[in-house]
Chain A
Amino acid sequence: MSVFVLLQTLKTDSFSRAAMKTVFVTVGTTSFDELIESVTSPETVQALKARGYERLVLQVGRGSLLPAADSCPHVRLQAYRFKDSIAEDIKQADLVISHAGAGSCLEALGAGKFLLVVVNDKLMNNHQLEMARQLHMDSHLLYCTCSTLTQTLRTMDLSVLQPFLPGQPKNFANFLDKALGVQ
Chain B
Amino acid sequence: MAVLEGAVFAILLTCLLFIIRLYIVVKTGPNYKPGTKGPVAVLVVAGSGGHTTEILRLMESLSAAYSPRHYVIADTDTMSEEKICTFESSKQRLDSESQFTICRIPRSREVHQSWGSSVLSTLDALRYSLPLVFRLRPDMVLCNGPGTCVPLCVAGLLLGILGMKKVLLVYVESICRVQTLSLTGKILYPISDYFFVQWSSLRDKYPKSIFLGRIV
Contact B62 A173 (CB under 8 A): yes
Contact A167 B33 (CB under 8 A): no
Q: Report the Cα distance A106→B51, complex, angstroms.
A: 12
Q: Report the Cα distance A176→B62, complex, angstroms.
A: 9
| Interface membership of chain A positions 151-183, coded 1 if the CB is closer than 8 angstroms to chain B and 0 otherwise | 000000000000000011111110111011111
Tell me which residues across on chain B come within 8 A of A173, comparing CB atoms: 58, 61-63
Query: In the complex, which of the residues A84, A130, A182 contacts B82, with contact meaning CB atoms closer than 8 Å?
Result: A84
Contact B215 A168 (CB under 8 A): yes
Interface size on B, residues (CB 8 A): 45
Return the chain A residue nearest B212 by Cβ.
Answer: A171
Q: Report the Cα distance A183→B178, complex, angstroms.
A: 33
Interface size on A, residues (CB 8 A): 29
Query: In the complex, which of the residues A107, A167, A175 contacts B175, with contact meaning CB atoms closer than 8 Å?
Result: A167
Contacts A103-B50, A180-B140 given; does A131 touch B34 at CB 8 Å: no
Q: Does B22 sit at the interface, judged by CB under 8 A? A: no
Tell me which residues across on chain A come within 8 A of B168, comparing CB atoms: 180
Contact B176 A130 (CB under 8 A): yes
Q: Report the Cα distance A106→B175, complex, angstroms.
A: 9
Smallest beta-carbon distance A28→chain B, Å: 7
Q: Does B186 sit at the interface, judged by CB under 8 A? A: no
Return the chain B residue nearest A164 by Cβ.
Answer: B214
Q: Give the secondary structure class of A's interface.
A: helix
Query: In the complex, which of the residues B35, B48, B49, B54 contacts A180, with contact meaning CB atoms closer than 8 Å?
Result: B35
Contact A181 B36 (CB under 8 A): yes
Q: Report the Cα distance A131→B216, complex, angstroms.
A: 13
Q: Does A78 sit at the interface, judged by CB under 8 A? A: no
Contacts A172-B196, A179-B194, A180-B168 given; does A167 touch B213 at CB 8 Å: yes
Tell me which residues across on chain A come within 8 A of B175, comparing CB atoms: 102, 106, 131, 167
Contact B61 A170 (CB under 8 A): yes
Tell me which residues across on chain B come within 8 A of A176, comparing CB atoms: 62, 170, 194
Tell me which residues across on chain B come within 8 A of A101, comparing CB atoms: 49-50
Contact B182 A127 (CB under 8 A): yes
Return the chain B residue nearest A180 by Cβ.
Answer: B35
Tell me which residues across on chain B come within 8 A of A128, comparing CB atoms: 176
Q: Does B190 sit at the interface, judged by CB under 8 A? A: no
Q: Report the Cα distance A103→B61, complex, angstroms.
A: 18
Q: Which of A103, A169, A181 neighbours the largest number of chain B CB atoms within 10 Å of its CB?
A: A169
Contact B35 A177 (CB under 8 A): yes
Contact A183 B61 (CB under 8 A): no
Q: Does B27 sit at the interface, judged by CB under 8 A? A: no
Q: Report the Cα distance A106→B52, complex, angstroms.
A: 13
Q: Does B210 sit at the interface, judged by CB under 8 A? A: yes
Return the chain B residue nearest A102 by Cβ.
Answer: B176
Q: Identify 5 residue pairs between A and B in the complex whose beta-carbon atoms are under 8 Å apart, listed by A's number.
A: A103-B53, A106-B53, A177-B65, A180-B34, A183-B35
Q: Which residues of B contact A (CB under 8 A)?
A: 30, 33-36, 40, 48-50, 53-54, 57-58, 60-63, 65-66, 79, 82, 86, 139-140, 168, 170, 172, 174-180, 182, 194, 196, 198-199, 210, 212-216
Q: Which residues of A contact B (CB under 8 A)?
A: 28-29, 84, 101-103, 106-107, 127-128, 130-131, 133-134, 167-173, 175-177, 179-183
